[in-house]
């Protein structure tokens, strides 16, 4: 089985922000504004791409439930 590559959100944030911004220190220093910015970003992302996000999550959940039920009853469920 191939090893799944690790995803580190810190690498993603480092790529998005300008070089030299110590965002981890800023979050530790100003946790409430950082949380507010994250909440606003999530809200805007949800408003723009909400239906696609919900469709992807529900599709993933349905596949996982089907796989787990199949494992419980000992057969492949499609």
pLDDT along the chain (78 residues), means of 10: 66 84 91 94 90 91 86 67
Q: How far is CA 24 from CA 14, 62, 70, 71, in A?
A: 10, 36, 43, 42
CA neighbor of 23 nearest in space, from 36, 14, 33, 12: 14
Cα diameter, the chain? 54
How far apart are the C-alpha atoms of 67 and 72, rounded to whole Å? Answer: 9
Q: Note if the pTM is more than 0.85.
A: no
Confidence (pLDDT) at 39: 94
Residue spans of the domains in the chain: they are 49-78
């Amino acid at each position: 089985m191939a090893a799944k590559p690790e995803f580190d959100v810190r690498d993603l944030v480092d790529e998005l922000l300008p070089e030299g911004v110590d965002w981890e220190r800023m979050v530790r220093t100003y946790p409430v504004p950082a949380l507010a910015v994250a909440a606003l970003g999530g809200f805007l992302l949800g408003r723009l791409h909400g239906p696609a996000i919900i469709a992807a999550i529900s599709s993933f959940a349905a596949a996982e439930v089907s796989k787990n039920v199949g494992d419980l009853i000992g057969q492949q469920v499609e």
